């Protein structure tokens, strides 16, 4: 077949390809080209000195630390294979510098409803607005996600699209990994390193790479087992003087619930009936209100707002707004149809809540610690969709849920010491940890740092914690109640006060766990940990940061923050 005929045939074939298929095809062809670049018919070994210099840049966008951890593991592997690689956070990287790079490896998580990590949002925004010349830039991209969310790995897909639009060359198909990503990263690492070797003109032999020992597997989305539960307890943990509403829930099932301390449950909260009726009524379709069930109508994301802005023909200035409020503000501009709105809305994403019980003590129950999320939009007081749903559940009500595995946050061997830092609802997994160690008779020491606003009305699980302390299950307890004195005191302050003993525990191999709000709590705690290492080791701030980073990579420092 002549060249022109081949081109015509190919053009006809790709007319019906989806965007994802075209992206994959682009990566596949780029990979073939990379493999066949200046390859002689009879391959010969190339001296190290004659190789083309490749200095991979590893960029990561991470919300909870998983993408960062993968990036640092890959960086370590690159250095072991004598590659001059470096790793940077998308939060600190300038989009304009992309054109200076030759080979980029990107690792990006998805959070919320298909959104990039908050720290990477600026990078995404900048990349979508500027015009760059990236035709000489080669890249490969690993997307991490959770297949129980409707927009699985959407941030990775968006980043791939943005880079292709800027002319960058995708040399490998976009790789998507689920929550069990650790089973497959080694295989992807090998593929990336093979590609780098080929791009610099070397011949790869079997077993050429260090520390790569993985079978080729076909990754697939996890199938979540759904449980049917009944609420057996729902009690408010705060006393009446408190500024907060935090609930302890116990959910019972007729079958054994397969979970470990550190896991979470995933729940798809229902929309409020009154809100759905009001929206349908506003659109003149009151009888169709049930069609809004399962669609996200609260806290609309930026992507949805952009589409609604185009559909309504208006500029929507709000960053986050509920659909009902938006329609009440803008619906008088033009006729709006329910079908048009439904086509834009996204499915409700599951909400995750840490389990606050041990499967050894409660094999047919999960316990939760849920704070009612209350916030102001303008002058109107709002509540989070799922937290308000939990707060209103009555004993005897049924609900569906699944178990979200969180193996990065599991307990260590029973003889290992642990330090748990969990203010507010961050106490949830640690209640499960201590209960588990108590029930199993674990020998390791347990140290808890807990904080809230007031001792009298906000000390969650106080009776249990004091009993564990008296029995010796809990070795140390440090509390910080921020508003019980003139100067606010937080868990990081207590951590600093106990610096010497904390360091002794670290040196003896204790695992540090942090759970709770990412900002500012976990960031403040991390800063104090670096300061403790710096002071106790008499070293520089940078060296202390690297020490903590190594603890994170080795699993001695673990985070579950949100």
Domain boundaries, given as residue ranges, for the chain:
14-40+50-199, 226-269+350-404, 273-344, 408-561
Burial 101-132 (b: 16+ CB within 10 A, else e): bebbbbbbbbbbbbbbbebbbebbeebeeeeb
CA separation for the pair 430, 443 (Å, rounded): 16
Mean pLDDT across the stretch 381-389?
94
Which position has the higher pLDDT, 111 or 206? Answer: 111
DSSP single-letter state for residue 223:
P
Q: Does 3.40.225.10 match the CATH number of domain 14-40+50-199?
A: no
Residues whose CB falls within 8 Å of the CB of residue 548, separated by 6 or more in sequence, listed in order: 526, 529, 530, 533, 557
Q: Which sign does the torsion angle of CA 551, 554, 558, 560 carry?
A: positive
Task: Say if residue 376 is preceded by a cis peptide, omega within 30 of 0.
Answer: no
Q: 207 pLDDT exceeds 50? A: no
Q: What is the pLDDT of residues 387-415, one digit of tens each?
A: 999 999 999 999 999 999 898 899 999 99
Q: What is the pLDDT of residues 16-75, one digit of tens each?
A: 555 444 444 554 454 444 334 333 333 323 334 444 567 899 999 988 788 999 999 999
Mean pLDDT across the stretch 349-361?
94
Beta strands in 245-384 (DSSP E): 246-252, 264-267, 351-354, 365-371, 374-377, 380-383
Share of the chain above pLDDT 70, in %: 86
Identical topology for domains 14-40+50-199 and 408-561? yes
* CATH fold for the domain made of 408-561: Rossmann fold (3.40.50)
Across the chain, mean pLDDT equals: 86
Tokens matching residue 106: 């990107």
- The CA–CA distances, whole Å, from 515 to 262, 350, 448 equal 10, 20, 11
Q: 222 pLDDT exceeds 60? A: no
pLDDT band at 300 (very low <50, low <70, confident <90, very high): confident
DSSP single-letter state for residue 426:
G
Tokens matching residue 252: 């019972």
- The answer to whether the beta carbons of residues 433 and 526 sit under 8 Å apart is no
Tokens matching residue 183: 């089973």
Q: What is the pLDDT of residue 227?
A: 96
The answer to which of 59-73, 189-203, 446-460 has the lowest mean pLDDT is 189-203
Q: What is the pLDDT of residue 13?
A: 61
- The answer to whether the beta carbons of residues 498 and 471 sit under 8 Å apart is no
Q: What is the pLDDT of residue 37?
A: 36
Name the most confidently modeled range: 31-35, 65-69, 241-245, 380-384. 241-245
Q: What is the pLDDT of residues 143-184, one digit of tens each?
A: 998 887 778 899 999 999 999 999 999 989 999 998 888 888
Q: 545 pLDDT exceeds 90? A: yes
DSSP single-letter state for residue 510:
P
Of 154, 133, 159, residue with least CA distance to 60: 159
SS3 category, 216: coil
Q: What is the pLDDT of residues 125-147, one digit of tens each?
A: 999 999 998 989 999 999 998 88
Q: What is the pLDDT of residue 64?
A: 78
Q: What is the pLDDT of residue 269?
A: 96
Q: What is the pLDDT of residue 508?
A: 97
Which position has the higher pLDDT, 526 or 376? Answer: 526
Q: What is the pLDDT of residue 208?
A: 38
Q: What is the pLDDT of residue 303?
A: 80
* CATH fold for the domain made of 226-269+350-404: Elongation Factor Tu (Ef-tu); domain 3 (2.40.30)
Q: What is the pLDDT of residue 211?
A: 37
Measure CA 425 to chain center: 18
Q: What is the pLDDT of residue 15?
A: 58
Per DSSP, the chain holds a count of helices (H) and strands (E) of 18, 19
CA separation for the pair 38, 44 (Å, rounded): 12
Environment class of 224 (CB within 10 Å of its CB; exposed 0-12, middle 13-18, buried 19+): middle
SS3 category, 294: coil
Strands 246-252 and 365-371: antiparallel
């Amino acid at each position: 077949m002549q060249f022109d005929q081949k081109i015509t045939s190919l053009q006809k074939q790709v007319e019906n390809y989806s965007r994802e298929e075209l992206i994959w095809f682009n990566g596949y062809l780029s990979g073939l080209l990379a493999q066949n670049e200046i390859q002689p018919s009879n391959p010969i070994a190339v001296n190290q000195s004659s190789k083309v210099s490749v200095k991979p840049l590893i960029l990561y966008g991470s919300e909870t630390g998983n993408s960062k951890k993968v990036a640092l593991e890959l960086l370590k592997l690159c250095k072991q294979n004598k590659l001059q690689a470096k790793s940077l956070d998308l939060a600190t990287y300038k989009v304009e510098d992309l054109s200076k790079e030759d080979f980029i490896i990107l690792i990006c998580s998805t959070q919320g409803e298909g959104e990039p990590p908050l720290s990477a949002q600026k990078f995404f925004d900048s990349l979508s607005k500027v015009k760059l010349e990236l035709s000489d830039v080669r890249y490969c991209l690993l997307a991490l996600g959770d297949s129980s969310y409707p927009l699985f790995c959407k941030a990775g897909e968006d980043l791939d699209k943005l880079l292709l639009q800027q002319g960058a060359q995708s040399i490998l198909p976009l790789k998507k990994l689920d929550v069990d990503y650790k089973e497959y990263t080694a295989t992807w690492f090998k593929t990336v390193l093979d590609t780098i070797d080929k791009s610099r003109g070397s011949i790869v032999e079997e077993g050429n790479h260090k520390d790569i020992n993985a079978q080729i597997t076909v990754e697939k989305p996890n199938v979540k087992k759904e449980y049917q539960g009944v609420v057996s307890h729902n009690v408010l943990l705060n006393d009446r003087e408190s500024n907060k509403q935090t609930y302890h829930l116990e959910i019972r099932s007729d079958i054994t619930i397969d979970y470990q301390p550190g896991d979470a449950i995933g729940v798809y909260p229902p929309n409020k009936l009154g809100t759905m009726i009001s929206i349908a009524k506003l659109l003149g379709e009151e009888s169709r209100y049930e069609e809004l069930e399962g669609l996200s109508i609260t806290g609309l994301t930026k992507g949805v707002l952009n589409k609604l802005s185009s559909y309504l023909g208006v500029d929507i200035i709000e960053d986050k707004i509920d659909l009902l409020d938006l329609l009440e503000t803008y619906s008088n501009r033009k006729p709006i149809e329910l079908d048009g709105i439904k086509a834009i809305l996204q499915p409700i994403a599951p909400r995750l809540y840490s389990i606050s019980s041990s499967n050894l003590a409660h094999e047919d129950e999960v316990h939760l610690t849920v704070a009612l999320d209350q916030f102001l939009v303008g002058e109107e007081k709002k509540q989070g969709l799922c937290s308000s749903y939990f707060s209103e559940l009555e004993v005897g009500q049924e609900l569906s849920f699944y178990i979200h595995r969180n193996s990065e946050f599991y307990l260590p061997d029973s003889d290992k010491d642990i330090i748990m830092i969990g203010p507010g609802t961050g106490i949830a997994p640690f209640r499960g940890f201590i209960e588990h160690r108590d029930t199993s008779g674990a020998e390791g020491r347990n140290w808890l740092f807990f904080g809230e606003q007031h001792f009298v009305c906000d000390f969650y699980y106080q009776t249990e914690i004091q009993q564990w302390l008296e029995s010796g299950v809990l070795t140390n307890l440090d509390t910080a109640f921020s508003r019980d004195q003139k100067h606010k005191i937080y868990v990081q302050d207590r951590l600093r006060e106990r610096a010497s003993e904390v360091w002794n525990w670290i040196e003896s191999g204790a695992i540090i766990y942090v759970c709770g709000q990412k900002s500012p709590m976990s960031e403040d705690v991390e800063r104090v940990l670096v300061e403790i290492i710096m002071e106790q080791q008499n070293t520089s701030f940078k060296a202390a940061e690297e020490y903590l980073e190594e603890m994170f990579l080795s699993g001695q420092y673990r985070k579950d923050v949100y």
